[in-house]
Structure 1
Amino acid sequence: MSDQSDQPVLPTRRRSRWPWIAAAAVIVVVAGVIVGVVANRDDEDATTAGGTKAETVRIGVADAESPYWKTYLDLAKQRLNVTVELINFSDYSQPNPALKQKQLDLNQFQHIQYLANYNVTAQDDLQPIGATAVYPLPLYSLKFKAPADIPANAKIAIPNDAINQARGLLVLQAAGLLTLKNGGSAFSSLTDVDTKKVEPVALDASQTAGALQSGSVAGAIVNNNYATSAKLPRDAAIFQDDPASDSAAPYVNIFTARAADKDNPTFLKLAELYHDPAVEKGVQEANGNVAVLRTVPAADLQALLKKVQDQAVAAGK
């Protein structure tokens, strides 16, 4: 939206009104012609050869600058007669509320585990309608080549949102940098750290890469899209979890819709379109070929979401 302000009223001179009226009439006619041409062009742009108006779908993402989205948008227009409008978000806390409030039609930025936590804490009922890929969650360092090289009490940045924080702590545990009470879980937090070699520091997920690059931390857990945006070198990823394992199923990224739209045929087709070979190729190019692409039926995703939500409730989230 744009702010509107009152336009200043300019003083007028006393002159004969007839020349101005005639000029105004000409301007109105010309303006009418221009508006008519623009309207016709807009109508032409918004229709196919068969005369069907294109549908516009707003999708919230966190990586709109990635080139593969251009391929996706072009295919959506050509094959589905859908104009996709990407709305980019810089932090993970915004796309789900925007979807709930109908500022978006879909979003594609999160995994099942994140959505489960959101639904439970926000008492919402957003639903997954299509899978995209599972990405490893790496530990990056610009100073050290292996987790064992990181000195005692060094600071390690981890995401502060509940789900990515739990996964980040599990990565640090697997890397031998700390231990979690009872082995940890997908709902572990900093209070569950039992022993530690390093000092985990919770930051917004969008800031962990910056903390690493500034030198304020020795290492950082950085989500894939933020690592790509920050241009972190792949060889700076000194450890990561295994995205192909069964335990990674809750971390499959998804297209998400409001519950009332989970069977919307256009939305389901847009989720399927992500797995067009040209789009998948672009996804891999944009992410250093680390994505494990997944196609999972919407009903299975929704059943998995229900299971993880039940776990979240049991964990007191």
Structure 2
Amino acid sequence: MRINRVIAAAAASLIAATGLVACSSETETTSSSNGDAVTVKIGTTDADQKAWSVFADEAQKAGIDLDIVRFSEYPQVNPAQSEGQIEISKFQTINYQAQYNATSGKDLRIIGSGEINVLGLYWKDHDSIDGIEGEEVAIPNDPSNQGRAINVLVQAGLLTLRDGAPTLTPTPADIDKDASKVKVVAVDASQTPNAYNEGRPAIINNNWLQRAGIDPSTSVAADDPNSELAEPYINVFTVSGDDLDNQTYEKLVDVWQSPEVTAALDEDSNGTAVQVQRSKEELNEILDRLVEEYK
């Protein structure tokens, strides 16, 4: 199944219409308690994307001025949040947040969901997985993508996991080779487009798809955003536990899910981003399950 088919099928149920590198306010408005706009300090690694510009505009219409704190690397953001340098963040998946909570002993929480970026299997000059049996598939070797890549192949019926293997965070060692139709080789994510160009099947994440100029619609298989196996890869809004019921932050989640931001997100991702609407209770249940796996 191609990514564009997966997105079309998922859209009906999912789409809604350590330190700082730089800290700069996108507006000059300050917080107010008399009905004027309220300023929220939000951290992200994606501030240069069109979706964030639209997000800031739409938030302002809703009475919220975003003070966007720009980070250059993922590992900087959660510690800044834990130390109170930002109020809320939007940059990470549930899986990434779970790893941070498990290793740091912190308990950052999720106040709402954003999008999931569909991950696909690509095979040059093929439009299906027919004939792929016996092939060696290149997958990213980083912890954030390796387990998910394996699960893409599990969902496609190409890999079988050993009994007792972790369902959400499998590694190559968890694969039942005798029961599987393909083999995997874990490589640096930057090398997956090279494998594709050499004629080998490869799981390629969206950043490297764009850099390599590979059309996302040409995938021969992809994960299903509705699947439980994809849940760890939902991008989320993160807050401290004390702010879990903050109505202003909940309003920001609604703004992100707006048609205007969704359209910009679709443009940024070349059509691979699908908005997900899940309750904060569901999202935090997923988070807690993953934290236990990582401990």
Cα distance in 1, alignment partners of residues 234 and 69 from structure 2: 21
Shift of 1:190: 2.2
Cα distance in 1, alignment partners of residues 275 and 82 from structure 2: 27
Deviation digits for residues 131-182 of structure 1, max 9, x if unmatched?
Answer: 1123322123445444455585645032411x53212112123345443212
Match of 1:306 among 277, 288, 293: 288
One-letter code of the match for 1:95?
Answer: V
- Tell me the equivalent position of 1:24: none
Q: Which has the higher contact order (CA 8 A, sep 6+)?
A: 2
Cα distance in 2, alignment partners of residues 221 and 80 from structure 1: 42
What is the TM-score with the length of structure 1 in the denominator?
Answer: 0.68
Are 2:257 and 1:275 aligned? yes
Are 2:154 and 1:173 aligned? yes
Shift of 1:251: 3.4
Instruction: Report the structure number with the largest CA radius of gyration.
Output: 1
Show the 5 A alignment for 1:1-317.
45-46=28-29, 55-61=39-45, 63-89=46-72, 92-142=74-124, 144-149=126-131, 152=134, 154=136, 156-161=138-143, 163-182=144-163, 184=165, 185-195=167-177, 197-203=182-188, 207=190, 211-212=194-195, 215=197, 218-228=200-210, 230-310=212-292, 312=293, 317=295
One-letter code of the match for 1:84?
Answer: D
Q: Are the structure 2 counterparts of residues 246 and 191 from structure 1 closer, same or farther at C-alpha, using a change threshold of 3 Å? A: closer
Q: Sequence identity, in percent?
A: 28
Secondary structure of the residue aligned to 2:176 is strand
Identify which range, 268-277 or 287-296, moves more after superposition. Answer: 287-296
Question: How many aligned positions are there?
Answer: 267
Q: Are the structure 2 counterparts of residues 103 and 168 from structure 1 closer, same or farther at C-alpha, using a change threshold of 3 Å? A: farther
Cα distance in 2, alignment partners of residues 60 and 226 from structure 1: 20
Shift of 1:116: 2.4
Q: Are the structure 2 counterparts of residues 230 and 85 from structure 1 closer, same or farther at C-alpha, using a change threshold of 3 Å? A: farther
What is the TM-score with the length of structure 2 in the denominator?
Answer: 0.72
Cα distance in 2, alignment partners of residues 253 and 169 from structure 1: 19
Cα distance in 1, alignment partners of residues 250 and 162 from structure 2: 41
One-letter code of the match for 2:52?
Answer: W
Q: Are the structure 2 counterparts of residues 200 and 301 from structure 1 closer, same or farther at C-alpha, using a change threshold of 3 Å? A: same
Deviation digits for residues 66-108 of structure 1, max 9, x if unmatched?
Answer: 3222111112233224133152545x54433443344543332
User: Does the 8 A contact of 2:119 with 2:205 survive in 1?
Assistant: yes
Shift of 1:292: 3.5
User: Does the 8 A contact of 2:127 with 2:218 survive in 1?
Assistant: yes
Shift of 1:200: 1.9
User: Does the 8 A contact of 2:148 with 2:230 survive in 1?
Assistant: no
Deviation digits for residues 13-33 of structure 1, max 9, x if unmatched?
Answer: xxxxxxxxxxxxxxxxxxxxx
Shift of 1:57: 1.2
**Uncovered stretches (5+) of structure 1, i.e. residues with no partner:** 3-41
One-letter code of the match for 1:60?
Answer: T
Secondary structure of the residue aligned to 1:132 is strand
CA RMSD of aligned residues (A): 3.7
- Tell me the equivalent position of 2:7: none
